[in-house]
Structure 1
Amino acid sequence: MGKVREFIEYNYRHFNSAALVDAAKGYEKHLAEGKKMLVSLAGAMSTAELGISLAEMIRQDKIHMISTTGANLEEDLMNLVAHNSYERVPHYRDLTAEDEWTLLGRGLNRVTDTCIPEEEAFRRLQQHVFDIWKEAEDKGERYFPHEFLYKLILSGVLEQYYEIDPKNSWMIAAAEKNLPIIVPGWEDSTLGNIFASYCITGDLKPSTIKSGIEYMMWLADYYSNNAGEEGIGFFQIGGGIAGDFPICVVPMLSQDLEREDTPFWSYFCQVSDSTTSYGSYSGAVPNEKITWGKLGIDTPKFIIESDATIVVPLVFAILLDQ
């Protein structure tokens, strides 16, 4: 038994700590039964360096698909190539508007207590990403956003910039596995904005990047071909579109396409500090998803109301027997 697991199982007995243990054991049981697991990434998990544990989960085949915001997709690579220029601001709660303005002037974009260096991170990637976008367009080829970044990683062109151990990059682990990824709402990411700017100037065409509708169509095929009779598991980190987009594929298949034999998601866990209030999707309890045809009555359901940057590495440590 791993040391982390031993500590958690002995000490985490009630409330959110007990929910953490139950969710981890449910995830473990799900995998032991031969079922696949989707993990969704919201917030700024890559900037929180979740890749340290997430990459190993991918390498050990404990994650079979990821749904992520465009920000998490690119911020893992930004951390990979510009980590030494990041600045931590532990006193971020005390910053004034003038302090924030000063950070902007220095090219530092703040995410809670961490500042991403614009020049070293964004611009270091931009030219290389443009080159693969342009090459595909000139050949009349189209790819999903994550596929372009896989090409970038596997080309080796970024290796000259690596500033962290590459084993801690979840995007490298995913690229090496060719892990299925969907990136709903990619357009609102920094690279999405950059791509849009090239389209406005006429350097690229919008059609070079496959769309969110095409992601949903792809996901419908993936779920149909991989869910079997019992369904795929859903481990949701945070809320937002990273979770809302993929979970809808089940009611779409069963209701809109009238494939009534489509199984519900077969496991569900959400790690979030958002509470149920005023129609919040992010804070909706799992049972609400029953009414939308996403989860069944008997689907194992867990909710851990806590900080994902603390909770998720512990859940992963249990699953990795660390």
Structure 2
Amino acid sequence: MKQAEEQYQTLYKLQPEPLTTPEIKGYDFNQGVDFDALLNSYANFGLQATQLNKAIDIINKMIHWRLGPNEENQDPNTRCTIFLGYTSNMVSSGNREIIRYLAQHKMIDAIVTTAGAIEEDLMKCLSTFHKGDWQANDKEIRLKAICRIGNIYVPAANYGKLEDWLLPVFQEMYKEQKEKSFIWSPSSMIKRFGERINDERSIYYWCAKNDIPVYCPALTDGAIGDMMFHFNYKQDGLICDILQDVVKLNKKAMYSKKSGLVILGGGVVKHHIMNANIWRNGADLAVFINTGIEYDGSDAGAKPSEGITWGKLRVDAEYVKVFSEATLVFPLVVAQTFAKHFQEAKRV
């Protein structure tokens, strides 16, 4: 084999050079169980572990640049705005509590999400979701009035509870629209939902309390849209103007000194955030976590570098895509970034 390799190198005039990049090496549990050391070892683990380590590093850079002007040696002209995007299944799952933590402690500056992520957060304040089975007999559980999201069960009665809660809120908003000539946008509706739910378990309670805008360009695409239809069917005229939010989100990106993106999933949440960053010639830092592949031309599957061609990421941006289902890795990412920084700041 050695002789064959030498002949090959001679034939093709190869000039072998020693590799200078780090050695691939895993964690040695003979050292004990040290989760910080384990996750730090991911840097040279290879495959998606190394991608995850890079994601942690990039988010820590966002946090560094997000420090306020009162922090030592921090230039306010370089402050990073952090945009968080996620699809509804993140709120269906336990990632809801992770996102709530970020909003509770003002660790993010804006959210873009889907209708399901709004209504399910509210529903979880009114009732419960339960562990289910990927292999469930869907005809049988339909007859038991259970809806399924992967291996998560949602009692169909939850939607009735949401409707009973939501319709009076719509009535209140409709009255303000008529009496004060106030036109609602998805973000102002969501802020009102957060105020009225008045439950510290809610993501949007904390967003309303901490003045974190939540943009949902497809707010009608779910039970909330069904209930808007129900409301307007009986009392026509409640208006939701999405253009207001396009302007607000685009301006938030435009005026950001630095822009950092953390996006779980794809579709409208990913594109809406990235499209807003076109107005500043692209984001500076970006982390994408999803399972999409590029070969169908989908938004989720697209390589991050494709965004450079559209001006959604800067030519010199730092970015990474982690090919993973986000419930597996997002809690680990938050533990090594936002939560660690928060705990360290409390100790100072």
TM-score (norm 2): 0.77
1:17 aligned partner: 49
Structure 2 Cα separation of the partners of residues 62 and 28 of structure 1: 12
1:29 aligned partner: 61
Which amino acid in structure 2 is aligned with residue 240 of structure 1? G
1:128 aligned partner: 168
| Cα-to-partner distance string for 1:240-272 (whole Å, 9 max, x where unaligned) | 101112211233x3xxxxxxxx34211111100
1:287 aligned partner: 305
Matched, 1:240 2:252: no
Return the offset for 1:102: 3.4
1:51 aligned partner: 96
Contact 1:216/1:246 (CA < 8 Å) preserved in 2?
A: no
1:210 aligned partner: 241
Please list, as runs of the form range in 1=range in 2, the aligned pairs for 1:177-256 lying within 5 A after superposition: 177-199=210-232, 201-206=233-238, 208-211=239-242, 213-225=243-255, 227-228=256-257, 231-251=258-278, 253=279
Matched, 1:154 2:195: yes
Structure 2 Cα separation of the partners of residues 118 and 130 of structure 1: 21
Q: Give the direction of change, closer, same or farther, for the CA distance of 1:147–1:31 in structure 2 (3 Å limit).
A: same
Contact 2:167/2:231 (CA < 8 Å) preserved in 1?
A: no
Contact 1:271/1:305 (CA < 8 Å) preserved in 2?
A: yes
Contact 2:58/2:286 (CA < 8 Å) preserved in 1?
A: no
Structure 2 Cα separation of the partners of residues 222 and 76 of structure 1: 25
Structure 1 Cα separation of the partners of residues 116 and 253 of structure 2: 24
Return the offset for 1:134: 2.7
Which amino acid in structure 2 is aligned with residue 57 of structure 1? L
Return the offset for 1:209: 1.4
Which amino acid in structure 1 is aligned with residue 316 of structure 2? D
2:292 aligned partner: 274
TM-score (norm 1): 0.82
Return the offset for 1:37: 0.7
Contact 1:66/1:180 (CA < 8 Å) preserved in 2?
A: yes
Return the offset for 1:72: 0.5
Structure 2 Cα separation of the partners of residues 16 and 124 of structure 1: 45
Q: Give the direction of change, closer, same or farther, for the CA distance of 1:267–1:11 in structure 2 (3 Å limit).
A: closer
Contact 2:291/2:323 (CA < 8 Å) preserved in 1?
A: yes
| Cα-to-partner distance string for 1:2-42 (whole Å, 9 max, x where unaligned) | x6544311356321112111111111112212311101011
SS in 2 for 1:248: helix
| Cα-to-partner distance string for 1:60-108 (whole Å, 9 max, x where unaligned) | 332111100111111111112111xx33222x22x3xxx3233333332
Return the offset for 1:124: 4.2
SS in 2 for 1:300: strand
Return the offset for 1:274: 1.0
| Cα-to-partner distance string for 1:258-299 (whole Å, 9 max, x where unaligned) | xxxx34211111100111112111100011111111112210
Return the offset for 1:136: 2.6
Structure 2 Cα separation of the partners of residues 111 and 133 of structure 1: 31
Contact 1:42/1:242 (CA < 8 Å) preserved in 2?
A: yes
Contact 2:265/2:289 (CA < 8 Å) preserved in 1?
A: yes
Structure 2 Cα separation of the partners of residues 27 and 249 of structure 1: 20
2:5 aligned partner: none
Structure 1 Cα separation of the partners of residues 49 and 284 of structure 2: 23
Structure 2 Cα separation of the partners of residues 124 and 194 of structure 1: 10
Structure 2 Cα separation of the partners of residues 4 and 67 of structure 1: 31
Please list, as runs of the form range in 1=range in 2, the aligned pairs for 1:45-84 lying within 5 A after superposition: 45-83=90-128
Which amino acid in structure 2 is aligned with residue 147 of structure 1? S
Q: How many equivalent pairs are there?
A: 290
| Cα-to-partner distance string for 1:110-150 (whole Å, 9 max, x where unaligned) | 11111222323433433333333333333232222342233
Structure 2 Cα separation of the partners of residues 5 and 205 of structure 1: 55
Q: Give the direction of change, closer, same or farther, for the CA distance of 1:4–1:194 in structure 2 (3 Å limit).
A: farther
- Larger displacement relative to structure 2 (266-275 or 113-122): 113-122
Kindly name which structure, 1 or 2, has the bigger radius of gyration based on alpha carbons: 2
Structure 1 Cα separation of the partners of residues 143 and 172 of structure 2: 30
- What is the aligned-residue identity percentage? 18
Which amino acid in structure 2 is aligned with residue 40 of structure 1? G
SS in 2 for 1:286: coil
Matched, 1:42 2:87: yes
RCO higher in 1 or 2 (8 Å CA, sep ≥ 6)?
1
